[in-house]
C-alpha cells in the first residue's frame, strides 16, 4: 500500500509539472505545434535514462522511492519516458526484432486506437 501511495503522490507531482510545461511552452513558443508534449517527452526520457543509470550505478534506494520517481513522477510527467526505457532495455538485450515490433506497434497501434476512440465517440455523441 505504501508503494501505491508513493506512485500516486509522484503521479500528481509529474502531472502538475507536465501541465506547467505545456502552459509555459504555449505562452513562450506558441500554440501552432505541440511543443509542450515534445518537450516533456524529450526531457522525461532524458531524466528516465539518467535516473535509471544513477540508481543502478551509484545510489541504492527503496522500491517505494524508485516507484515514486520512475513510475510516479516520470509516469505522470510523460509515459513516453517509460516507453523509451522499455525500448532501450530491449535494444540493450539485443532483442532487435522485438524492439522494432514494440516500437512500431506502440506508436502505430496507439495512434490507430486514438482514431478509433475519436470515431466511436463522434458516432455516439453526435
Quote the CA–CA distance of 65 and 94 in Å, as a whole number: 29
Quote the CA–CA distance of 62 and 77 in Å, as a whole number: 21
- Tally of domains in the chain: 1
Q: Note the maximum CA span of the chain.
A: 55
Q: Tell me if 29 is assigned to some domain.
A: yes
- Report long-range pairs for 15-23 (Cβ below 8 Å, ≥24 apart): 15/76, 15/77, 16/76, 17/73, 17/76, 17/77, 18/76, 18/77, 18/78
Q: Tell me if 101 is assigned to some domain.
A: no
pLDDT at 65 (0 to 100): 96
CB 61 within 8 Å of CB 55: yes
Q: Tell me if 107 is assigned to some domain.
A: no
Q: Tell me if 83 is assigned to some domain.
A: no
Mean pLDDT within 60-78: 94
Other CB atoms within a 10 A radius of the CB of residue 74 amount to 27
Kindly report, residue by residue over 72-116, the tens digit of the pLDDT. Answer: 999 999 878 889 989 999 999 999 999 999 999 999 998 999 899
Q: Tell me if 24 is assigned to some domain.
A: yes
Mean pLDDT within 40-67: 92
Phi, psi of 11 (to 5 degrees): -60, -40
Amino acid at each position: 500500500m505504501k508503494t501505491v501511495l508513493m506512485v500516486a503522490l509522484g503521479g500528481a507531482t509529474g502531472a502538475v509539472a507536465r501541465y506547467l510545461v505545456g502552459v509555459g511552452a504555449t505562452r513562450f513558443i506558441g500554440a501552432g505545434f505541440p511543443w509542450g508534449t515534445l518537450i516533456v517527452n524529450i526531457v522525461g526520457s532524458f531524466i528516465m535514462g539518467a535516473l535509471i543509470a544513477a540508481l543502478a550505478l551509484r545510489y541504492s534506494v527503496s522500491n517505494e522511492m524508485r516507484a515514486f520517481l520512475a513510475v510516479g513522477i516520470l509516469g505522470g510527467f510523460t509515459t513516453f519516458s517509460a516507453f523509451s526505457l522499455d525500448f532501450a532495455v530491449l535494444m540493450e538485450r539485443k532483442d532487435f526484432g522485438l524492439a522494432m515490433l514494440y516500437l512500431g506497434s506502440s506508436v502505430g497501434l496507439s495512434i490507430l486506437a486514438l482514431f478509433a476512440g475519436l470515431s466511436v465517440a463522434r458516432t455516439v455523441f453526435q
